[in-house]
Structure 1
Amino acid sequence: MAGWIWFRCLFGPNLHRIHRPPDQSRPEARTGRRGWPYQPKSLEKHTDSILGWASALWSISYYSSPLLLCYLYRKGYICNTKLIPVSQYVGTVLVCLLGIACLRGLGRWRNPEYLQFISILEETRKNHTQNNKKKLACYDFDFSHWPADFSWSEVSSPKSSQGAVSLLKPEPRHRGSADSVLSSVRTLPCHVITPPPPPPPPAHATSTSPAPRYLITHSFGRRMLYPGSVGLLQKAMRPVLQQGQARLVEEFEGQRNKLVACDGNEIDTMFVDHRRDGGERGKTLVICCEGNAGFYEVGCMNTPLEGGYSVLGWNHPGFGGSTGVPFPQNEANAMDVVIQFAVHKLGFKLKDIIVYAWSIGGFTASWAVMSYPEIRAVVLDASFDDLLPLALKVMPDSWRPLVTHTVRQYMNLNNADQLCKYQGPVLLIRRTKDEIITTSGPEDVLSNRGNNLLLKLLQFRYPKVLTEESVRAVGEWLGATSQLEEASVYSSYEVDDDWCTSVLQSYQTDRETTFPWSVGEDMTADGRRQLALFLARKYMRNFDSTHCTPLPITEFQQPWRL
């Protein structure tokens, strides 16, 4: 029996923190302590440190392997006579690491706190009851060992049952958790030789070979776009993420859940329920979509939390405890299972859900409201209309055809196209000092791609209002760098808010309300300009800040409804 317990300790997960004792009779429970870091014994502490350094060196070797292999080849080390001693050395190192892992298991076996944790984990795996799950939630440990709480397969035809329309094709099964090293090596030749057919290129574009596009995307391209998926960065941020995790669980009584998407990826989520507080905001669920280096532990989830909303945060595939790689299809699959979990497990209706996104999270947010049109509203903070202009900004001009084909084939984050398929309320928040989604620098507010997102949305919804003269007036308003200047432009066109509201309400009453509307076709040019500026101010709010400044709750508002 003791040997079996040691065996479970050997292969058990790392334990990081005890949020609260599952046994309420323990002294810690009676003193009201919310949680404390797990304190390993000396043997476990030192052996775990050695294994941690070995893991970090492996990560560095993995990312530098192309340069390292080239260096070894030039020095003549890649040959049979020199590979044999190297393989023997590697084998010795692996045996030593295995011995260190056994000693770590012994150290865990001699720690009462770890023994209690591992017994609760095993019991929860055998019998996933609510009581066992509640006990397991008292611990913060490696999420890969966390039992699944909800699976996409539990809902039969979820998209058709909600009336959703997905424009993305189903992903092959091997691209789920199956985004492993072995799978990548196995499928690499096929993708390089015969990649998926790209969309028709622009008429002025030059044809490029498919192999470089695939290699760029799956090497540095994806990591540049989603730096939060890089393992070394996550290891560096681990103390901050663990602190944020503890805050959500211990202060807000957050519930951590593992969701299994249709591609097999496991999605790490955190739910804070404010319905029991009795307020109206608590009955509304805000689903948060983070940026390209954001995690729900320290990300935009904190803004609606401060406002008293119920909040559901989740990590991109490959971020934090989530598995997989953040390609567009995997992102959409993750968002889909998050919505299904909110509806079928948490008990929210789609009309009670607001999707809130920051930066690149606008892709999954716009996909969600496009696919689930019954969602109440969407709020996009510091987001953009299309990835391609931003990608071209950071790449050499000589790479333009290659970058264009690569983005359109593998990373086509077409937020504006998806958002235009949604009929509900929309609020865009533009950072006036944004240095990330501008194409000419933060001082040029007109180069902010949030402007393009607003114009494309308005031009789709109100095509008769957004004429050339109206677009020019809206552009002047978008070029304002302060609230005073913005108000000055607005008043210079003598916009009558009451008149604009009455015109829109009259149109809505007399006709079908599905966008696009034909309102404005019989107006004067002055009337169109007034209406265009009125709509622009209703759909977009300015926030005088840089891209990465947390959004205060005073700036988070539900979108305008007519």
Structure 2
Amino acid sequence: MSTLKTVWNCMFGPRLIKIYGNEGPVEKFYQPHSFEKWGDQVIHSLYVIWKIGVYTSPFLVGILYQRGYLTVEGLGPFTKLVTSISVILIVSYCCKGLGRFSNPTYLNFLSTLEAARKELTPETKHQLSLYDFEFHSWPVEFDMRTVRKDTTKTFINKPILHQNVLQYLTQIPFRIIAYVAIHTFGIRLIYPGSIGIIQMILEQSLLQGRSRLIEHNQGERFKVRTCDNNDIDTMFIDRRKSTQNGNTLVICSEGNAGFYEIGIMITAIEAGYSTLGWNHPGFGGSTGKPFPTQEQNAVDAVLQFAIYKLGFKPENIILFGWSIGGYSTSWAAMNYPDVRGVIVDATFDDILPLAINHMPSWWESIVKLAIREYVNLNVFEQLAKYPGPVLIIRRTEDEVICLRENELSSNRGNDLLIKLLRVRYPYIFEDRQIDVLKQYLSVAFASQDLFLKKYNVNENVCNSLLQTYISEYSKSFPMKIGEEFQDQDKNQMALFLARKYMKDFKATHCTNLPAEMFQPPWDVNVESDFVFT
């Protein structure tokens, strides 16, 4: 490689952050030379100023207009300012390039990166994994656009809401407002983790979390490209040869300000499972924006990667979603019905009630239109189409998905449970049983035992009734069990099912779920020779 080309690559190459040891969990931070450090600091400062300017642009435009900078006469000083910044930026890049060129550590890294880009073999991947650097330069290791045609599938999508022409025309002004709101600040309010400034604040925490996954859990980082050309930052922990649960893969979908580096992966890892974490589009090293379509394409690519690259069968995969990650998880469950099970923690049935609850009342019509048209995160609608085992974890002190503070009955996880059970067991969950269930869900775990005793719920009897029905008919939903039951029997079965489908965790929204609470969802096991007497 010529000297000039090397300097050029040093100028525009990725920022090197950390070097891991060849043997054991030995690592060190990259030490840049003074020229590189100065250039990086200036470029980073200008980037921060630019980001602040973007977020405050409505106010800045007003100030510039009042001071006459947006007139023909005022453009002169403004042009000089832009020219000065451009010169500073060019000088900074030159200093950065020269500083890196004189640093053997960076040149070794650059050589390793170039080798991996030319041909990504296990050896070049191992050498590249010894470096932590800006993820945009990481080579793509799984591309959905090149997946074999026989591995593609037709996906289930939610039906489009149809309106009459007059109603549509009268809503055009509100639709314009809703579109602009969602595509500017709205999506960032729903997914604050996509905001650049927040990611800059969390940069050190993300680095520490990523280092911990690599050093102590032998994590392997991958770049997965979606069908819409987004790059998804993933982390894989392989426990297949080291733990009892290692042959099962847990795919983790984070919350609206969560990252795999500091998120729910640790729960599944501590429980002994192989684990695959990924960052939403626009989060961490992932590109794009977390709009529903991009979220769907991202989690689809992650699942395809898990199946065809990592070698896990769908029946050995558990989908685990926390908070808003329940949307990605439920979409994946709907489209991959053969997965072993679904666990959703601190999630909701539908984002609309929460959005309305947190916005001024006079915005309600616009909020409703914006959510339904552009960010319709309806977890229940998707989860209802999944035929397998489901576990809902409810935080009894959740301050985020409760409509009213300190009221357990207003937790939207309750609504998710009720709707799901009603769809799956329609003859058991009639109106009277729903009333009983709501009373049960208004109290925490300690008081629920008393509730079950009050209604004489016998777990063995309820389980036997389900086994009898399944052995005679099938396991498919909706089940017709309960059609001949008396009210008392329906009440008992309703409370039994609620206890199996939902577990309480005495914690707030952002507390890590303990490993002992992470268990595969309950399922009715029927032996081939089962006979009920």
- Among residues 56, 59, 76, which one is paired with 2:68 in the alignment? 76
Stretch moving more, 119-128 or 346-355: 119-128
* Contact kept? 2:25, 2:216, Cα under 8 Å: no
- Give, as a single letter, the amino acid of the residue that structure 1 aligns with 2:366: L
**Percent same amino acid among aligned pairs?**
44
Residues 328-376 of structure 1 show CA distances to partners (whole Å, capped at 9, x for unaligned) of 0000000000000000000000000000010000001000010010011
Q: Which runs of 4+ in 1 moved over 6 A?
A: 203-206
Q: Is 1:262 paired with 2:254?
A: no
Q: Tell me the equivalent position of 2:356.
A: 392
Give the Cα–Cα distance (whole angstroms) in 2 for the partners of residues 97 and 77 of structure 1.
Answer: 23
Q: Tell me the equivalent position of 1:113.
A: 105
Cα deviation for residue 276 of structure 1 reads 1.7
Distance 1:550 1:204, change over 3 A: farther
Q: Tell me the equivalent position of 2:15.
A: 14
Cα deviation for residue 484 of structure 1 reads 2.3
- Among residues 407, 423, 434, which one is paired with 1:460 in the alignment? 423
Q: Is 1:496 paired with 2:458?
A: yes
Give the Cα–Cα distance (whole angstroms) in 1 for the partners of residues 394 and 162 of structure 2.
Answer: 31
Give the Cα–Cα distance (whole angstroms) in 2 for the partners of residues 160 and 61 of structure 1.
Answer: 43
Q: Tell me the equivalent position of 2:530.
A: none
Residues 369-417 of structure 1 show CA distances to partners (whole Å, capped at 9, x for unaligned) of 1001001100000000000000000111111111101000000001001
Alignment of 1:41-190 (within 5 A): 41-157=33-149, 160=152, 165-167=155-157
* Contact kept? 1:287, 1:313, Cα under 8 Å: yes
RMSD in angstroms over aligned alpha carbons? 1.8
Cα deviation for residue 198 of structure 1 reads 6.3
* Contact kept? 1:159, 1:165, Cα under 8 Å: no
* Contact kept? 1:47, 1:101, Cα under 8 Å: yes
Give the Cα–Cα distance (whole angstroms) in 2 for the partners of residues 4 and 73 of structure 1.
Answer: 44
Distance 1:237 1:158, change over 3 A: farther
TM-score, normalisation: structure 2: 0.95
Cα deviation for residue 199 of structure 1 reads 4.8
* Contact kept? 1:168, 1:329, Cα under 8 Å: no
Cα deviation for residue 88 of structure 1 reads 2.3
Q: Secondary structure at the residue paired with 1:209?
A: helix
Aligned length: 520
Cα deviation for residue 155 of structure 1 reads 2.0
Q: Tell me the equivalent position of 1:174.
A: none
Q: Secondary structure at the residue paired with 2:419?
A: helix
- Give, as a single letter, the amino acid of the residue that structure 2 aligns with 1:91: T
Q: Is 1:379 paired with 2:343?
A: yes
* Contact kept? 2:25, 2:215, Cα under 8 Å: no
Q: Secondary structure at the residue paired with 1:281?
A: coil
Q: Tell me the equivalent position of 2:204.
A: 239
- Give, as a single letter, the amino acid of the residue that structure 2 aligns with 1:19: Y
Q: Tell me the equivalent position of 2:330.
A: 366
* Contact kept? 2:69, 2:78, Cα under 8 Å: no
* Contact kept? 1:458, 1:466, Cα under 8 Å: yes
Give the Cα–Cα distance (whole angstroms) in 1 for the partners of residues 139 and 250 of structure 2.
Answer: 25
Give the Cα–Cα distance (whole angstroms) in 2 for the partners of residues 380 and 158 of structure 1.
Answer: 31
Give the Cα–Cα distance (whole angstroms) in 1 for the partners of residues 238 and 121 of structure 2.
Answer: 20
Give the Cα–Cα distance (whole angstroms) in 2 for the partners of residues 159 and 346 of structure 1.
Answer: 15
Q: Tell me the equivalent position of 1:436.
A: 400
Give the Cα–Cα distance (whole angstroms) in 2 for the partners of residues 536 and 423 of structure 1.
Answer: 17
Distance 1:313 1:33, change over 3 A: closer
- Among residues 261, 278, 288, which one is paired with 1:324 in the alignment? 288
Cα deviation for residue 153 of structure 1 reads 2.1
- Among residues 521, 528, 531, which one is paired with 1:559 in the alignment? 521
Give the Cα–Cα distance (whole angstroms) in 1 for the partners of residues 382 and 499 of structure 2.
Answer: 21
Stretch moving more, 525-534 or 121-130: 121-130
Cα deviation for residue 450 of structure 1 reads 0.1
Q: Is 1:450 paired with 2:442?
A: no
Cα deviation for residue 503 of structure 1 reads 0.8
- Give, as a single letter, the amino acid of the residue that structure 1 aligns with 2:304: Q
Distance 1:523 1:168, change over 3 A: closer
Q: Is 1:469 paired with 2:432?
A: yes
Residues 254-308 of structure 1 show CA distances to partners (whole Å, capped at 9, x for unaligned) of 110001100000000000100121x330000000000000000000011000011
Q: Tell me the equivalent position of 1:537.
A: 499
Give the Cα–Cα distance (whole angstroms) in 2 for the partners of residues 212 and 20 of structure 1.
Answer: 53
Q: Is 1:355 paired with 2:345?
A: no
* Contact kept? 1:244, 1:297, Cα under 8 Å: yes
- Stretches of structure 1 that go unaligned for 5 or more consecutive residues are 22-28, 170-196
- Stretches of structure 2 that go unaligned for 5 or more consecutive residues are 525-533
